[in-house]
Chain A
Amino acid sequence: MSNAGDGVRNIGVVGRFFRQPVSVIALILVLLITIAVTFASAIAPFPPLLQDLYRSLQGPSSAHPLGTDSLGRDVFSRLLYGGQTTLLGVLVGCACFVVVGVILGLVAGYFGGLTDRTISGVADTLLALPGIVIVLAVLAIFSQSVYASMITFGVLSSGGLIRVVRATVLSVREELYVAAARVSGATPARILFRHILPGLYAPIMVQLSLFAGICLAVQTGLGFLGVSTPPPAPSWGGMVGDAAVSLAQAPYYLYFSGGIIFIMTLGFAVVGDGLRDAAAVGSSGDNPLRRRLGLKGKSDQSVEPFAGKREDSPLLSVENLTVGFRSNGNFAEVLHSISFDLERGEIVGLVGESGSGKTLTGLTLIGLLDPDAEVMTGSCKLEGEDLLRLDERGMTAIRGRRIGLVSQEPMVALDPLFTVGDQLMEVLRHFTGGTRKSLRDRAVRLLRDVRLTDPESVLAKRPYELSGGMIQRVVIAMALAGDPEILIADEPTTALDVTVQAGVLDLLRELKSTREMSILFVTHDLGVVADICDRAIVLEAGRIVEAASVDELFAAPKHEYTRRLIASTPSLLEES
């Protein structure tokens, strides 16, 4: 049984590789040099050892295209012949690297257990040994042997490939096609080489190209030190060593000999990078992070005139908001021209199923949309000021101070490397500054506000030492630190136990009254809406289908979708 998937995948990698112009150029260069070196005897104008002392250290000329060295030998010819020794050494090193790395990696990844631990231990040991010193020690014994040094270096470096191969094997070991092969009675060797290995070609080729560059660098370094190839036979490294001696008289010699090493090493490295890029799927062109951090650059739309605050106007007014996602030139609308208001001091539930666009709405308001998302039209006016017209600096001033956010997953909501106190005080310091003691006191008070018992000890803890419910309270505390008027609560209790849920909901209710805060409560759970919200807005597939006070909504739902939502909510059914 063969794996059609692997064949297709590998062809895909090759295809993508050849669509990268830089990679192709590098590959051609490497191949050209290799071919030229192989046919040195046919191409080179002079024998490599032919001396002409009358013409020593001459620059490039018609007879000697790259000049001559200190003994009058033709540099171009010596580079070609020298390439044979050098590249042969690289070939030997790479062969050992691949053979040892692939076999041990396959065995370790597939068989696991003690075999895996032993081989991994060997790989780690190999990587821990100081490579060049061991190679030198070997050369002290087997002097001037390119093979001995390159075999040693290849084996020593294979630790890296063992790790990569092992990791990949571990991830595919449990795939269906491997299990199928096992069931059909294939021997481990057959499974490894026929079924698993083809999927590894890409990572192996990447590691191999990169290693080839390193191997070349080491090989030429050893040649430069004079421990690798006995003179007068040419090698690229040895020629750099020669050039060093006559540097003042013949600088070109240094640049030609070093240049060929540089070009070849660069070629290997670029090919390796190109393979790695081709093997990685789904890379977007633009840097998503710039947009994620809000570095899109200043908005080029003019700022709307400030409408002025009126006591009877809503705190937040969303009008005709249309948001969608752009990918590969296509645009998919998710929110279709929605409009709603949020008054002061009310809790509004934004209800819908997954994919209805409710989270997107909340993120748009606070300006934390995904990099791929785009606002097409509409406005979000906070006391008359359109948030969508603000640039990143403007939004940073809004966040935390006027609008806060609490998200769904408490377990990843806080930085694991800092204590709760560090992060809470960082936020407090951002808003008010003050001495460490005053910040600490305020942090303790905030934690008490969110009903955390023993706030001092919570401050000293790290996020992974706390439960989900406690972290969520901390996150709420951080969101309140700047005393915002609006809190966007995006499914804050969905990831919590039911009993813990009730506590957090109580807290939010209490905060609304003590701080006169408006809460936009995004949820799919109508039970929670019935519990805590004053009004509810129902979202279906990016459109608002109903908006009413909670009492009205449940007593007399007008839209069919709302009726179905109510009908499918277990906690409400029990009551009716």
Chain B
Amino acid sequence: MLLLILRRLAISIPLLFLVSIVTFVLEAFIPGDPASNLLGANATAAQYAQVRAALHLNEPLIVQYGIYLSGLFHGSLGTSIFTGNDVAQTLSQRLPVSLSIIVLTTAVSGTLGIVIGVISATSRRGVRRVLDGITPIGFALPNFWVALVLSSIFAVSLPIFPATGYTPFTDSPAQWLLGLVLPVVALTFAGVTSVAKVARDGMLQALSQDYIRTLRSCGIPRRSLVWRHALRNSGTKIVTVLGNIFIGALSGTVLVEAVFVLPGLGSLAVSATNSHDIPVVQGVALAFTVVVVVVNLIVDVTYGLIDPRVRIK
């Protein structure tokens, strides 16, 4: 098990470096001069030179990257060009918001998806057909559009849920949850259907195995065969798709945070993109990559827990 974790980490460290290099190199392509962008038109030559020195803009690119890396190891991700705030601090403030959305989306999609998938695997043809029909519809609905429609119906016309804004869990759990209902619902549409499909296919495959027949011949009822044995044997496939849902929700949160004006990493990424605030964009890219790495790690560890044969390899 430990070996599994170490191996996954060994692959992930270069990935983080790669992302930091990519965003750093892209920065070199920005048209215009960061110093003059920052100071504006009415800067004196002295101020200009001062800013350039402070931003290390006169050094070769490699040195600049080295300075950036050493900053990273000291826990510093730079400061925002636009707001002057410490990037790391901004990220840590916004991370819980996005994580709330993503984790809830994955949990809801997963639970609903598994239930629907299992029912679909053991249902009559008619029910299966209906579920097969709904799957592409769920997938095709643009999540930002669904968010807008939900907002217009359930937040504006019928003021049940807040249309904008986020309440931290520590302030008021009830309000925190209320504010997240619509964003999470908007994102689960696409996720539920793919979980359901994978769960169904996994169940069908597992239920056609010999060990199911052995247990059935001993009189074990269908309920146990489905929920205890077939489901666990589909476990690794379901966990894989849940990991994908999680990572998909990372992209999705960028959009729903815009619709519901939630102060998360997604809306930060968009505003930083629009204002060419490179340190912030870099910080968000790194943060997202770290999240992806952690999720993949959790998925791998879960594989090992579900199917011990994976641990042996």
Contacts and interface: CB of A to CB of B under 8 A. Distances in A.
B1 interface: no
A395 B84 CA distance: 74
A400 B152 contact: no
A217 B218 contact: no
Contacts of A268: 140
B176 interface: no
B288 A133 contact: yes
Interface stretch (B39-47, B68-76, B289-297): B289-297
Given A247-B152, A401-B219, A414-B214, A293 B122 contact: yes
B220 A289 contact: no
B156 A125 contact: no
B142 A258 contact: yes
A217 B142 contact: yes
Interface string A233-259: 000010010011001100100100010
Nearest to A138: B26
B93 interface: no
B136 to A, nearest CB: 4
B59 interface: no
Given A133-B250, A286-B125, A414 B211 contact: yes
Interface in B238-284: 247, 250-251, 254-255, 258-259, 269-270, 272-274, 276-278, 281-282, 284
Contact of B221 (A368, A396, A404): A396
Interface stretch (B109-117, B167-175, B180-188, B305-313): B305-313
Majority-rule SS of A interface residues: helix
A479 B247 CA distance: 46
B229 to A, nearest CB: 5
A141 B29 contact: yes
Given A140-B278, A244-B259, A412 B210 contact: yes
A140 B219 contact: no
Interface stretch (A315-323, A423-431, A448-456, A515-523): A423-431
A341 interface: no
A376 B97 CA distance: 63
Contact of A224 (B124, B208, B222, B255): B255
Nearest to B213: A368
A536 B175 CA distance: 76
Given A133-B269, A399-B217, A413-B214, A289 B208 contact: yes
Contact of B224 (A269, A405, A412, A426): A426
A221 B221 CA distance: 48
B145 A396 contact: no
Contacts of A261: 142, 145
B216 interface: yes
B162 to A, nearest CB: 16
A137 B285 contact: yes
Interface string A422-458: 0100110011000000000000000000000000000
Nearest to B210: A412
Majority-rule SS of B interface residues: helix
Contact of B219 (A226, A285, A431): A431
Given A273-B136, A475-B214, A137 B219 contact: no
Nearest to A403: B217
A262 B141 contact: yes
Contacts of B211: 412-416
B233 interface: yes
B36 interface: no
Contacts of A412: 209-211
Nearest to B272: A140
A244 B148 contact: yes
B137 A430 contact: no
B122 A295 contact: yes
Contacts of A289: 121-122, 204, 207-208
A399 B140 contact: no
B225 interface: yes
A270 B19 CA distance: 35
Contacts of B282: 137
Interface residues of B, number: 83
A137 B124 contact: no
A225 B258 contact: yes
Contacts of A218: 251
Interface in A122-166: 124-125, 128-134, 136-143
Contacts of B38: none
B79 to A, nearest CB: 17
B166 interface: no
Nearest to B190: A217
Contacts of A227: 270, 273-274
Contacts of B214: 405, 407, 413-414, 475, 478
A70 interface: no
Contacts of A287: 123-125, 128
A333 interface: no
A197 interface: no
A482 interface: yes
Nearest to B146: A258
Contacts of A143: 273, 276
B6 interface: no
A392 B27 CA distance: 68
B285 A130 contact: yes
Interface in A283-299: 285-287, 289-290, 292-295
Contacts of B140: 213, 262, 265-266, 268-269
- Among A217, A265, A475, the most chain B Cβ lie within 10 Å of the Cβ of A217
A135 to B, nearest CB: 9
Contacts of B306: 417
B220 A129 contact: no
- Among A132, A142, A270, the most chain B Cβ lie within 10 Å of the Cβ of A132
B139 interface: yes
A556 interface: no
Given A213-B139, A225-B254, A254-B152, 14 more contacts: A125-B15, A130-B288, A137-B23, A140-B26, A213-B140, A226-B274, A392-B222, A400-B220, A407-B214, A412-B210, A414-B211, A414-B214, A416-B307, A426-B228
7 contacts: A130-B289, A130-B292, A251-B152, A265-B142, A266-B140, A289-B122, A368-B217
Interface of B: 11, 15, 18-19, 22-23, 26-27, 29-30, 121-125, 128, 135-137, 139-145, 148-149, 152, 156, 204, 207-211, 213-222, 224-226, 228-229, 232-233, 235, 247, 250-251, 254-255, 258-259, 269-270, 272-274, 276-278, 281-282, 284-285, 288-289, 291-293, 296, 306-309
The 5 A-B residue pairs with the shortest CB-CB distance, nearest first, are: A400-B219, A258-B145, A266-B140, A405-B217, A132-B251
